């Protein structure tokens, strides 16, 4: 099974988009995207329809603020979507958009220095056009680079996150189909164990069923990155599970893999009631929505690395805390 046409379309799109001046972004998007293409982005953007809305609301303001932008990809792959019976083809790109933070963006004061916006993008390609996109990005990570502290001290490490240990994440050529099937099987085994946090095993034993002991969990700003099963359990997984109850069933819009890489996204992935303590915040009687992208690297029959994008701004706003508005009114330290 070849994904070369879809991959080349997205690669050409990125080259044109990254080279286009801000006042020509609308034209660039219109050439590649369907007129009614659906774009999903993290708060405050939400769902946008059509190239003009994407350009005017997201891409043009971002490019005006982060000048001399470079796309620094770490992972690139394609595959058929398990969620629709492997009918649709998606192309996935993950990395950083790096630029000089020269003008305000979303009320965040510029620094005049280089900043990195972590991103991951799923593009559904059909009939030679991009017809659907999920582009998730870590705005709190950019805030922290700009000297703001949007959350209480996090449990794991704050880093500009590197790509895969193996430096083989850019699958411009198609990988053997059996490798992608093995990766998808490993991801599905992990999802099956995760369930609703009721497998019945001690947490570290549960994790060891599907993760290597030296796993790395590259979490979003506000939570952070953590290394090894023992530290991941201590620094994120156990506190996270303890802070929620009544978790809904997990749902995904797309889940796919190619070679040793795979991932998924939902809108939302799940909902849960916050009983208190997550990221130092108080309990709420409202259900919180977790909009998440997860990208994985498989090594053998287990998972080795995981890059996570969580719309924490949307999650907390739904529980009554507008982090973006609060940070836009705080002077940079």
pLDDT (tens digit, 9 = 90+) per residue, 222-260? 999 999 999 999 999 999 999 999 999 999 999 999 999
* Amino acid 195: pLDDT: 61
Q: How far apart are CA 70 and CA 6, in angstroms?
A: 22
* Amino acid 211: pLDDT: 98
The residue whose two tokens read 């411009």 is: 172
Structural domain including 254 reads 177-328
Q: How many residues does the chain have?
A: 333
* DSSP symbols for 101-130: E-S-BTTBPP-SSEEEEEEEEEEEEETTEE
Instruction: Please tell me whether residues 77 and 138 are part of one structural domain.
Output: yes
Instruction: Please tell me whether residues 133 and 11 are part of one structural domain.
Output: yes
Q: What is the DSSP letter of 250?
A: P
* Alpha-carbon radius of gyration of the chain: 19
User: How is residue 242 written in tokens?
Assistant: 């303890």
pTM for this model (two decimals)? 0.95
Instruction: Please tell me whether residues 118 and 249 are part of one structural domain.
Output: no
Instruction: Please tell me whether residues 186 and 141 are part of one structural domain.
Output: no
Instruction: Please tell me whether residues 120 and 195 are part of one structural domain.
Output: no
Hey, is 76 helix, strand or coil? strand
The number of folded domains in the chain is 2
Residue 160 lies in a domain: no
* Amino acid 199: pLDDT: 67
Instruction: Please tell me whether residues 125 and 210 are part of one structural domain.
Output: no
Longest CA–CA span in the chain (Å) reads: 56
**54 φ, ψ to 5°?**
-65, -45
Residue 164 lies in a domain: no
What pLDDT digit, counting tens, does each position of 249-297 carry? 999 999 999 999 999 999 999 999 999 999 989 999 999 999 999 999 9
Hey, is 256 helix, strand or coil? strand
Residue 159 lies in a domain: no
User: How is residue 170 written in tokens?
Assistant: 């850019």
Lowest-confidence range among 27-31, 65-69, 157-161?
A: 157-161
Give me the percent of the chain exceeding a pLDDT of 90: 90
Please list, residue by residue across 31-66, b when 16 or more beta carbons sit within 10 angstroms of its beta carbon and e when fewer do. ebbbeebbbbbbbebeebebbebbbebbbbbbbbbb
For residue 132, the domain's CATH number is: 3.10.450.50
Q: What is the DSSP letter of 302?
A: E
Lowest-confidence range among 25-29, 145-149, 209-213?
A: 145-149
Please state the separation of Cα 47 from the chain's center in Å: 16
* Mean pLDDT along residues 100-116: 97
Instruction: Please tell me whether residues 45 and 99 are part of one structural domain.
Output: yes
Instruction: Please tell me whether residues 181 and 323 are part of one structural domain.
Output: yes
Is 300 in contact with 323 (CB distance < 8 Å)? no
The residue whose two tokens read 């993760």 is: 211
Using CB atoms within 10 Å of the CB of residue 1, give its burial: 0 to 12 exposed, 13 to 18 middle, 19+ buried.
exposed
Residue 333 lies in a domain: no
Q: Specify the DSSP element, H or E, that contains 216.
A: strand 211-218
Instruction: Please tell me whether residues 187 and 320 are part of one structural domain.
Output: yes
What pLDDT digit, counting tens, does each position of 110-138 carry? 999 999 999 999 999 999 999 999 999 99
The residue whose two tokens read 């286009």 is: 20
Instruction: Please tell me whether residues 57 and 110 are part of one structural domain.
Output: yes
Residue 65 lies in a domain: yes
At which of 96, 122, 145 does a domain end?
145
107: nearest Cα among 307, 324, 313:
324
92 - beta bridge partners?
77, 122
273 - beta bridge partners?
245, 287
């Amino acid at each position: 099974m070849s994904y070369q046409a879809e991959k080349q379309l997205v690669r050409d799109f990125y080259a044109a988009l990254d080279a286009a001046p801000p006042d020509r972004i609308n034209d660039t998007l219109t050439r590649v995207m369907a007129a009614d293409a659906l774009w999903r982005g993290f708060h405050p953007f939400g769902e946008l329809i059509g190239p003009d809305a994407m350009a005017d609301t997201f891409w043009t303001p971002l490019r005006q603020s982060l000048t001399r932008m470079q796309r620094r990809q770490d992972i690139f792959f394609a595959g058929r979507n398990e969620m629709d019976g492997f009918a649709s083809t998606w192309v996935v790109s993950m990395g950083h958009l790096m630029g000089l933070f020269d003008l305000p963006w979303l009320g965040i004061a510029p620094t005049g220095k280089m900043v990195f916006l972590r991103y991951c993008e799923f593009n559904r390609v059909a009939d030679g056009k991009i017809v659907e996109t999920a582009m998730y990005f870590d705005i709190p990570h950019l805030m922290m680079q700009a000297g703001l502290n949007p959350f209480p001290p996090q449990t794991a490490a704050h880093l500009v996150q590197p790509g895969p240990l193996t430096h083989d994440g850019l699958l411009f050529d198609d990988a053997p189909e059996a490798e992608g099937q093995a990766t998808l099987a490993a991801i599905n085994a992990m999802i099956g164990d995760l369930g609703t946090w009721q497998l019945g095993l001690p947490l570290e034993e549960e994790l060891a069923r599907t993760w290597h002991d030296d796993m790395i969990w590259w979490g979003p700003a506000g939570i952070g990155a953590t290394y090894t099963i023992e530290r991941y359990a201590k620094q994120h997984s156990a506190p996270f599970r303890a802070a929620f109850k009544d978790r809904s069933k997990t749902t995904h819009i797309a889940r796919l893999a190619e070679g040793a890489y795979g991932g998924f996204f939902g809108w939302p992935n799940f909902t849960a009631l916050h009983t208190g303590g997550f990221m130092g915040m108080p309990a709420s009687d409202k259900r919180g929505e977790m909009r998440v992208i997860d990208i994985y690297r498989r090594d053998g029959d287990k998972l080795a690395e995981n890059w996570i994008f969580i719309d924490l701004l949307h999650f907390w706003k739904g529980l009554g805390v507008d982090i973006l508005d609060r940070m836009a009114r705080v002077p940079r330290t």
